[in-house]
Amino acid sequence: MAIQLQNVTYIYMEGSVLSQAAVSDIRLEIQEGDFLGMIGHTGSGKSTLVQLMGGLLQPTGGRVLVDGLDLGDKKQRKAARPRVGLVFQYPEYQLFEETVAKDVAYGPHNLGLAPEEVEARVRRAMELVGLPYDRFGEKSPFALSGGEKRRAALAGVIAMEPRYLILDEPMAGLDPMGRKAILETIAGLRQETGCAVVMVSHSMEDVAQYAQRIAVLHQGRLVKAGAPGEIFQEEALLRSLGLELPVPCRLAAALRARGMDVPPVYTEEALAAFLLERGKHV
């Protein structure tokens, strides 16, 4: 089971004098249960790529397969779409029902599920994102805080029970506490449901903290993909693409420049653990 991008190209306004390739010859695979972080400068093709994964756009060249279903085929695309949940920037703008429970139920209801199954999914999704049904179900979504609105919108996608959860800058506009809450919610969802996560982010720290693999895009092309430790060792490459290393990487480099033998680290926890252990022997 996987999302497979097979030499995928997408050209906006193809055939016109304004045609432009948004992504070119992308080869990438997301296995069920993966956590893939996607990074790249503005205009690198990240948002186009997630729309291709969700079947909202059809590739100009190549194929996108979801569990073997070709999104270029209308019938197969219809079968594949419930397997992929898309969450865009500011998903709370999509809230529209009079209660949170009704909003979360919208997707499952449109799947034609029995009312009792819809309610069960709504309750479970709301619990998973930290909005208990008994407390929040009858509230207006517009009476929630910014972070709660974001979680309610996420619950509406989770209630569809996708195998692949694709998030395009899900923390945009949130304060640090709100960002952390959403990230922990996403990580918890993956652990609880086993779904794969593809997360587009401009935050190197967020990607370093949560992703198992990272895909680096630049000008519509996949430059490199690998584990965080592998990606963040490529400081010269990332800087050439207009990307910064995570803060812990930069702190570790500064300490090495001062003569401290610091191993390669890219998360706050790893750097703190090293410094604490070293402090015991000073």
Over residues 51-71, the pLDDT tens digits come to: 999 999 999 999 999 999 999
| The two structure tokens encoding residue 45 | 């093709």
**SS3 of 40, please?**
coil
Going by DSSP bridges, is the β-strand pair 164-168/196-200 parallel, antiparallel, or unpaired? Answer: parallel
Is residue 91 pLDDT above 80, yes or no?
Answer: no
Contacts of 273 (CB under 8 A, 6+ apart): none
Domains (range + CATH), the chain? 2-228 (3.40.50.300)
What is the pLDDT averaged over residues 137-150? 90
CB 84 within 8 A of CB 164: yes
User: Residue 19 — pLDDT band, cuts 50, 70, 90?
Assistant: confident
Is residue 232 pLDDT above 80, yes or no?
Answer: yes
CB 87 within 8 A of CB 154: yes
Q: What's the pLDDT score for residue 281?
A: 67
Residue 218 β-bridge partners: 221
Q: What's the pLDDT score for residue 269?
A: 86
Q: What's the pLDDT score for residue 27?
A: 96
User: Residue 29 — pLDDT band, cuts 50, 70, 90?
Assistant: very high
User: Residue 280 — pLDDT band, cuts 50, 70, 90?
Assistant: confident
Is residue 96 pLDDT above 70, yes or no?
Answer: yes
